[in-house]
Amino acid sequence: MKKVLLIIFAIFACASSCEKLPFGEYFYEILLVNKSNCDLYVYPAYRESENVYPDTLLPISYKFFNKVSSNSDFTWSSQIQWKEIIQKLPADTLSVFFIDATIFENVAWDTIRKNYLILKRYDLSIEDLEKTDYTITYP
């Protein structure tokens, strides 16, 4: 009986999609694709304690930045739908900051923040993300 239950569980787990886990738990994803020739540090400004659009300052802390190697991708996952997260932001807009890894790793964070040493900032609505199937491509 244990073998049968184990086989049923394995089939159930394999049949589940990447977004849905076996026990009904979902993860909603935003895929970031780095098509540049340089490594990046990337930050989606949506946490309540950090600066969010229309405040486009860099956050006080750099701990939420993720490194994305050149010509690779990275996925942000959430158990809450991104639409719901973005709708709760002050202007229904998600800012995504891109910083060159060389700068990020070699310049003091206070200097990066003060001089706004970013490569790019994307300000995205939920409609923008839906149009790209929740994929953000840099550049």
Q: Are strands 72-78 and 94-100 parallel, antiparallel or unpaired?
A: unpaired
What are the extents of the domains in the chain? 2-138
What digits encode the pLDDT tens for the residues 16-40? 434 555 566 789 999 999 999 999 9
Give me the mean pLDDT over the 80-102 stretch. 93
Pairwise CA distance, residues 139 & 136, whole Å: 9
Q: Which two tokens stand for residue 51?
A: 């600066």
pLDDT score recorded for residue 23: 62
- Does the domain spanning 2-138 belong to CATH 2.60.40? yes
Q: Give the pTM.
A: 0.78
Q: What is the 3-state secondary structure (H, E, C) of 36-63?
A: CCCCEEEEEECCCCCCCCCCCCCCCCCC
Residue type, 77: S
